[in-house]
Structure 1
Amino acid sequence: MPSQIFHPEFKARPFWWEAYAPETMAPIELPRESRVAVVGAGYAGLSAALALNDAGIDCIVLDAHEPGFGASTRNGGMVSGGVNVGKRYIAKPLSPEAAAPFMSDAAEAFTHIEDLIAREKIACHWTKAGYFLGAWCQSHYRAMEKKIAVLNANAQTGAYIVPRERQRDEIGSDYYRGGMVVERAAHIHPALYYKGLLDIVRRRNIPLAARTPVTKLTQSDSGWIVTTPRGDIKAADVVIATNGYTGDVTPQFKRRVVPIGSYIIATEELPPEIARSLSPRNRSIADTRRVLTYYRMSPDGRRLIFGGRAKFGQTDPVETAPVLYRFMVDRYPQLEGVKITHAWTGNVAFTLDEMPHMGKFDNLHYALGCNGSGVAMLSYLGFQTGRKIAGHVNRICAFDSEDFPTHPLYTGNTWFVPWIGRYFRTRDWIDRNIGG
Structure 2
Amino acid sequence: MTTPLAPDYAEVPLWTDEAPLVEPGREPLPESADAVVVGGGYCGLAAATELARRGHDAVVVDREALGWGASSRNGGMVIPELKVGPARLERRYGALGRRLFDSVNEAFDLVEQLVGEGIDCGYERTGQLYLAHHPRLVDHLRHEADEMRAAGQPAHFVPASELWSEIGSDQYFGGLVLERTGGLQPARFHQGLVARAAAAGVGLHPHTEARAIERSGSRVRVTTDRGDIDAGAVVVATNAYADRLVPALQRRVLPVGSYIIATERLDPDVAAAVNPHRRMFVDTKNFLFYWRLTADGRMVFGGRRSLAPVSIAEARDFLHASMMRIHPQLRDVAITHAWGGNVAITFDRMPQAGVLDGVHYATGCNGSGVALNTWLGARVGAWVAGDDAPPFTELRAPRIPLWSLRRAYLPVVGQWYRWRDRRP
Q: TM-score, normalised by structure 2?
A: 0.95
User: After superposition, where does 1:162-201 map in structure 2 within 5 Å?
Assistant: 162-201=158-197
Q: Provide the C-alpha distance between the structure 1 equivalents of 2:401 and 2:323, rounded to a whole number of angstroms.
A: 39
Correspondence for 1:423:
416
Aligned-residue offset at 1:351: 0.5
Percent identity, aligned pairs only, is 37
Cα gap change, 1:222/1:97 in structure 2, threshold over 3 Å: closer, same or farther? Answer: closer
| Aligned-partner Cα distance in 2 for 1:53–1:24 | 20
Question: How far did residue 222 of structure 1 move?
Answer: 2.5
Quote the residue 1:326 is aligned against: 321
Q: 1:271 and 2:264 equivalent?
A: no
Q: Measure, in 2, the Cα distance between the counterparts of 1:70 and 1:57.
A: 26
Distance 1:143 1:281, change over 3 A: same
Q: Secondary structure at the match of 2:393?
A: coil
CA distance change for structure 1 residues 407 and 261 in 2, over 3 Å: closer, same or farther? closer
Q: Which residue of 2 aligns with 1:230?
A: 226
Structure 1's unaligned 5+ residue stretches are 88-92
Give the secondary-structure state (helix, strand or coil) at the position aligned to 2:20.
coil
Question: CA 1:18 to 1:163, structure 2 compared with 1: closer, same or farther past 3 Å?
Answer: same
**How far has the Cα of 1:67 moved from its partner?**
0.4
Instruction: Say whether the 8 Å CA contact 1:81–1:106 is kept in structure 2.
Output: yes
> Following TM superposition, by how much is the alpha carbon of 1:186 offset from its aligned partner in structure 2, in angstroms?
0.6
CA apart distance, 1:337 = 2.9
Pick the aligned partner of 1:289 from 285, 289, 302.
Answer: 285
Match of 1:363 among 352, 358, 361: 358
1:239 to 1:414, Cα distance in 2 relative to 1, 3 A: farther
Segment of structure 1 superposing worse, 310-319 or 126-135: 310-319
Match of 2:49 in 1: 50
* Residues 257, 304 of structure 2: 8 Å contact kept: yes
Provide closer, same or farther for how the CA distance between residues 310 and 6 of structure 1 changes in structure 2, counting only shifts above 3 A.
farther
Which of 212, 222, 232 lines up with 2:208 in the alignment?
A: 212
- Tell whether the 8 Å contact from 1:59 to 1:207 is kept in structure 2 after alignment: yes
Relative distance call for 1:323 and 1:171 in structure 2 (3 A) is same
CA contact (8 A) 1:243 1:367 kept: yes
- Structure 2 residue aligned with 1:15: 14
Q: CA RMSD in A?
A: 1.7
CA distance in 2, matches of 1:415, 1:62: 33
SS in 2 for 1:141: helix
Contact 1:360 1:402 in 2 (8 A): no
From 82, 85, 95, the counterpart of 2:83: 85
**Per-residue displacement from partner, 1:174-217 (whole Å, max 9, x unpaired)?**
11111100011111111100000011122233101111011111
Other-structure match for 1:143: 140
CA deviations over 1:396-416 (Å, ceiling 9, x no partner): 533122521014521485443
8 Å contact kept, 1:175–1:331:
yes
2:393 is aligned with 1:403: no
User: 2:91 & 2:397 partners in 1: Cα distance?
Assistant: 21
| 368, 385, 391: which one aligns with 2:386 | 391
CA-CA distance at 1:114 after TM superposition: 1.0
2:336 alignment counterpart? 341
Give the TM-score normalised by structure 1: 0.92
The one-letter code of the counterpart of 1:116 is L
Of residues 242, 247, 261, the one that matches 1:246 is 242
Write the letter of the residue equivalent to 2:46: S
Any idea what the Cα deviations from partners look like across 1:235-263, whole Å, max 9, x if unmatched? 11110100010011111011101001110
- Cα distance, 1:342 vs. partner? 0.3
Residues 85-134 of structure 1, C-alpha deviation per residue, up to 9 Å, x if partnerless?
317xxxxx756563433221111111111112212x11111101100000
SS in 2 for 1:180: strand
- CA distance in 2 between counterparts of 1:201 and 1:102 reads 27
The answer to whether the 8 Å contact 2:290/2:303 transfers is: yes
1:351 aligns with 2:343: no
Q: Distance in 2 between matches of 1:141 and 1:225?
A: 54
Q: How many residues align?
A: 419
Instruction: Tell me whether 1:105 sits opposite 2:103 in the alignment.
Output: yes
User: Cα deviation per residue 1:353-394 (whole Å; 9 max; x = unaligned)?
Assistant: 11111111221100100101000000000000011111133x
Answer whether contact 1:85 1:102 (CA < 8 A) is retained. no
Q: What is the distance in 2 between the residues matched to 1:97 and 1:412? A: 30
- Stretch deviating more after TM superposition (162-171 or 26-35): 26-35
Which segment is superposed worse, 164-173 or 202-211?
202-211
Residue identity matched to 1:56 = G
Q: Separation in 2 of the partners of 1:104 and 1:200?
A: 25
Q: Is the 8 A contact 2:35 2:234 kept in 1?
A: yes
Q: Does the 8 Å CA contact 2:22/2:191 hold for their aligned counterparts? A: no
